[in-house]
Amino acid sequence: MPTTRRDLLRLAAGAAISAAVTSCSGAGTDAGGKGHRTSPATTRPASPTNPPAGPPRDFAGRPRPGELYYGASLPADRSLSQWEHLLGAPLALHRSYFTPDPDETAQMSRQCDDDLTAGRLPHVSMKPPGTWADVASGRFDDWLRGIFGSLAQPGRPIFFTLHHEPENDAGPPGMQAADFVAMQRRVIGLGGDLAPAVTVVPVLQHWTFDPLHGGADPRSWIVEEAAVLGVDVYNPWSPTNGKLWRTFGSRVDEVTRWVGDTPLAIGEYGCRQDPADPGSVAAWLRDAADYARTHDIVSMSYFNSGQNSPDGSTELYGPAEQTFAELLGSTWVARPD
């Protein structure tokens, strides 16, 4: 019987990880070579810049310490079930995106049902039908009630994001950072009343927290009422752009100094393949998971796609895909009850 791709994923995972770590010889720095860094198992301190307002807020489906929901997103033209068959297990978290047209709320609800039935935590996103200020004012409360009514499932956790990476659309009237924060507060309040098992997760870009981004004030975007804050984190390196290779942990460290003890959900993360060093992404993934488990990251979704990626695709294949499959089968992976 010929060897299938699924067989290769299962049988080669251990060898792929060993080869990946060996290929990443050298110091675990972010300049020059692509060494990996293993982060110490520490609890991150409260930020002197933006200390937490009080004890951490609980949320439905919160994983135990050292555990997290491990998953990914796929482009719409790829079959999730077929990919999971290759991986040998369903994702523990599925990230999906929707637009506010007449049928999208129903589609989002069906996707959440499918995910929960399959043992995945749904993390769904949608943009609002108006400005952030409009939502904050209550103009779209009926629309929000319809969303929360469709998602409300007692005891079945869902992560819901309204307008991920808002920085891309900031600027016009009603679309300032203060408007975004006010919108999130309105949504969190409604969601808490209508759908307690739905956690509203504001998702920002890492660039807002990057020291190189001198014009941004991260404090203006942080929603202190959120039980979980989200951020998208990518290794900026590609074979063609000349940017530094960055570890996942070094990027997240630039975020945590601003958010105190609020747990993080990684809405998207990714690393581009180096044709000259095929094991480097596998080691990067493994180090990312090690960091996440020891720094109160409750979920992470790999952006397994080439869409909207001008510097190159972050799609998983070869040793990186094998390593992802191995990590997905780890005992520390949480799943919704």
Residue spans of the domains in the chain: they are 5-19+62-328
- Report whether 83 contacts 324 (CB < 8 A): no
328 burial via Cβ count (<10 Å: 0-12, 13-18, 19+) = buried
pLDDT of residue 1: 44
Q: What is the pLDDT of residues 179-224, one digit of tens each?
A: 999 999 999 999 999 999 999 999 999 999 999 888 779 999 999 9
Q: What is the pLDDT of residues 98-150, one digit of tens each?
A: 988 889 999 999 999 999 999 999 999 999 999 999 999 999 999 999 999 99
Structure letter (DSSP) for residue 166: G
Q: Whole-angstrom Cα distance, residue 48 to residue 257?
A: 8
pLDDT of residue 230: 98
In sequence order, which residues have a C-beta less than 8 Å from that of residue 25 and are 6 or more positions away?
35
- Is pLDDT larger for residue 36 or for residue 161? 161
CATH assignment of 5-19+62-328? 3.20.20.80
The answer, as to whether pTM is greater than 0.85, is: yes
Q: How far is CA 211 from CA 11, 72, 115, in A?
A: 42, 27, 37
- The yes-or-no verdict on residue 268 having pLDDT over 50 is yes
Question: What average pLDDT does the chain have?
Answer: 87
